[in-house]
Structure 1
Amino acid sequence: MKKRLVSKKNITLLLCVSVFIAAVLCWFSYEIWSFSMKDEAKPADAILVLGTAVWGDQPSPVLRERLNHAIKLYEQGYAKYIIFTGGRRSANELAESEVSRSYAIEKGVKPEHILIEDQSLITEENFEYSLIVAKPYKLETYIIVSDPLHMKRALMMASELGMTAYSSPTTTSAYSSMRTKLPFFFRELFYYTSYRIIYALS
């Protein structure tokens, strides 16, 4: 009888933990999805574009849409500078930021208005190295450009680093169909949940 009672307690505890985890994941999912639709763009010192893959000397479709959105904001006068981020995945490749710079210049962005950091490999490093290159120019406010579902985690990182940052997700994205959007969403949910746990424990 005692063993049976203990077993029931364990099952109840497991059920409670499962419900709690499910509730947390649902809340995080809501945060990511709802924030993805917010565009906070306002006049700032710089537009900061989070890097992603390049194909040789050309931006991948995902990066291209981020660049197009940033260039549009620049042309509309939201900021004087654009900061392109992203390093190289191997010694034989161009850095993501170098490819971004070339693309932007071709689209009419003045070279003197472009800053790059070519060391980062992950989102958090995008911000950290960007702050280093921005310091001599005394840039203090930033419009962050990335894919919609990436924005919640990105803005949380920027806030933790003390940045005054505004979200401006791409209005077009390579992640447009449910077939491509759902894997990206679940990946972001995993990273965002991990980041929240690490942040809570630190």
Structure 2
Amino acid sequence: MKWDLTPAGPIRPFKSRPQRRYRRGLLLLLALLLAIGLMWSAYVLIRINGARTTEPMRKADAGIVLGMAMWGDEPSPGLRERLDYAIQLYKQGAYDHIIVTGGLDRAGYRYTEGQGMRNYLISKGIPDSAVKVENEATSTYENLLFSRKIMQEEGWTSVVIVTHTFHGRRAQEIAKYLGYDNPELGLTESETMSMVKYKTREILAYTKWKLQETF
């Protein structure tokens, strides 16, 4: 008589109960972290979308145009949108001076963001005497920190921050953190940039800012 010693099915490795509990706990933790991340992102998106141009806007000493990418010697389409809105507010009498702020995007570029913005404003008829340039900033925080130094040197105390709507909430919060007195917002919508891309980036940037503010 022959015995059939062929296994009835594939041999499965034995897993102890502690191993199974560990894997289950890890999956639950990952699911919890994912849920928290999604809820936080939704909250931040609501905050971002809730930013509005200050109304009514009181007359300010200066408007600060926050920097954005240069395309060679010219402001990028997104940066031109900010500059065009800053010009509109200037002509409406919202402020008498404009601070343009931003450092060098790439080695080899002829102009910093600040210099390129100044050139653009002057080409559109803004007097050179009305424009102050900040050439070092590499972030929104530095835009506002270094611009505040210019304001202190000039004796200016009130400001309108000019940027895109998706960027306004973080910019205003940073300005208040740095000691700006009731900073107003001049916000423009974009017709040239992908809001999926830029709002996703802004959620990450806002999260980073809140961590910096906290710690």
Whether TM exceeds 0.5 here: the answer is: yes
Matches within 5 A, 1:24-35: 24-35=40-51
Q: 1:173 to 1:134 in 2, by over 3 A?
A: farther
2:21 and 2:170 map into 1 onto residues whose CA distance is 43
Alignment-derived partner of residue 152 in structure 1: 169
Partner deviation per Cα, 1:41-91 (whole Å, 9 max, x = no partner): 432111000011122332111111111000110000010110011111325
The equivalent position to 1:52 in structure 2, one of 56, 68, 78, is 68
- The size of the alignment, in residue pairs, is 195
The answer on whether the counterparts of 1:147 and 1:173 sit within 8 Å (CA) in structure 2 is: no
The answer on whether the counterparts of 2:118 and 2:133 sit within 8 Å (CA) in structure 1 is: yes
Q: 1:42 to 1:15 in 2, by over 3 A?
A: same
- Does 2:184 match 1:166? yes
The answer on whether the counterparts of 1:69 and 1:171 sit within 8 Å (CA) in structure 2 is: no
Runs of 4+ in 1 over 4 A off after TM superposition: 4-14
Alignment-derived partner of residue 96 in structure 1: 113
SS at structure 2 position matched to 1:81: strand
Q: What one-letter code is carried by the residue in structure 2 that aligns with 1:84?
A: V
Q: What one-letter code is carried by the residue in structure 1 that aligns with 2:40?
A: V
The equivalent position to 1:66 in structure 2, one of 59, 64, 82, is 82
The alpha-carbon deviation at position 154 of structure 1 amounts to 1.3
2:212 and 2:153 map into 1 onto residues whose CA distance is 31
The alpha-carbon deviation at position 22 of structure 1 amounts to 2.1
The answer on whether the counterparts of 1:42 and 1:143 sit within 8 Å (CA) in structure 2 is: no
- Does 2:148 match 1:131? yes
Partner deviation per Cα, 1:10-41 (whole Å, 9 max, x = no partner): 55454444333322221111111222xx1114
Structure 2 segments unaligned to the other structure (5+ residues): 1-15
2:90 and 2:66 map into 1 onto residues whose CA distance is 15
The alpha-carbon deviation at position 173 of structure 1 amounts to 3.8
SS at structure 1 position matched to 2:84: helix
2:34 and 2:128 map into 1 onto residues whose CA distance is 53
Alignment-derived partner of residue 83 in structure 1: 99
Moved more, 191-200 or 79-88: 191-200
Percent identity over the alignment is 29
1:196 and 1:185 map into 2 onto residues whose CA distance is 16
SS at structure 2 position matched to 1:163: coil
Alignment-derived partner of residue 111 in structure 1: 128
TM-score normalised over the length of structure 2: 0.82
